[in-house]
Amino acid sequence: MMAKSPGNKNWLQAWLEDQRILLWGAADLREFLTPADASGQRFPRAIAWALPIHPSIMASVKDGPNQEYAEEYSRVNKRINELAHKLSVELRSRGHRAQPLAASERTDTTNIMGDFPHKTAATRAGIGWVGRHCQLVTSSFGSWVRLGTVFTDMEVDCAMPLQRNFCGRCRRCVDACPARAVQGNEWYPGITREQLLDAHQCDQWKKAHYYEYHKGRICGICSAVCPYGTRLLRDRKKGRR
């Protein structure tokens, strides 16, 4: 757990724990171009969290996606969107501006991106770093997670952003990607997505080979092979989780 919001810890932490969100943090986003609300005002902060994907389902996609993974992906995204809506309502009821970021929505289909990267909010909230595969890696669940974000103007003490990656010499995701889309570079704050991932190559591969699953929107191979995820399975077998 990485709850780093002492200023509003009491109600926010209680609320999040009540929703069984154990991995979350508050992010200072003042240096980023966050989405604007209906009045045209941008948001200075966000509450970011991660929900785990079932480890044995995630491990099962190391050779490509399957129906069980497609259903788990939908289930976790649905839960994230429900939580984001509820948290936004709660924040507004307490007099703050708030706006949820959809769990998995491409608002810019040309550049294959949404309104704002969940990963940026998450690294700034201190809940993980970004792996070579361009996905958030958390200490608790590796990259076997989906991410939620709610923008807000609530005054809250924000976490220390993650500043480095912990991939070391590992290149498993680079070698495993069938589309050769993972570029092999190490993440640091400010690196562009293109330096980490050829999103168009990834997208084309998924559409060509996995169209039966969410019209080619999912794959998961690069995440399934990541040792920060596979160790979860080992720990479960040893009864540590």
String marking each residue 76-105 x if it binds ligand SF4 according to CB under 6 A: ------------------------------
CB of 153 closer than 8 Å to CB of 43? yes
| Position 165, amino acid | N
Query: Is 13 or 183 the residue whose CB approaches ligand SF4 more closely?
Result: 183
Dist CA 208 CA 215 (whole Å): 10
Binding to ligand SF4, residues 133-172 (CB under 6 A): 133, 137, 167, 170-172
Shortest Cβ distance from residue 49 to ligand SF4 (Å)? 20
Beta carbons within 8 Å of 192's beta carbon, 6+ residues apart? none
Tell whether residue 213 is a contact of ligand SF4 (CB under 6 A): no
Minimum CB distance to ligand SF4, residue 78 (Å): 21
Per the CB < 8 A criterion, the answer to whether 39 and 46 are in contact is: no
* 3-state DSSP assignment of residue 139: coil
Give the pair of three-digit tokens for residue 186.
């190490």
Asked if residue 177 binds ligand SF4 (CB under 6 A), the reply is yes
Q: Is 215 exposed, middle or buried (0-12, 13-18, 19+ CB in 10 A)?
A: exposed
Q: Is 226 in the site for ligand SF4 (CB under 6 A)?
A: yes
Q: Which is nearer to ligand SF4, 78 or 171 (by Cβ)? A: 171
Binding status of residue 45 toward ligand SF4 by CB under 6 A? no
Pick from 161, 151, 160: which is nearest to 44 by CA?
151
- Which residues bind to ligand SF4, rule: CB under 6 A? 131-133, 137, 167, 170-173, 177, 179, 181-182, 197, 202, 205-206, 219, 221-222, 225-228
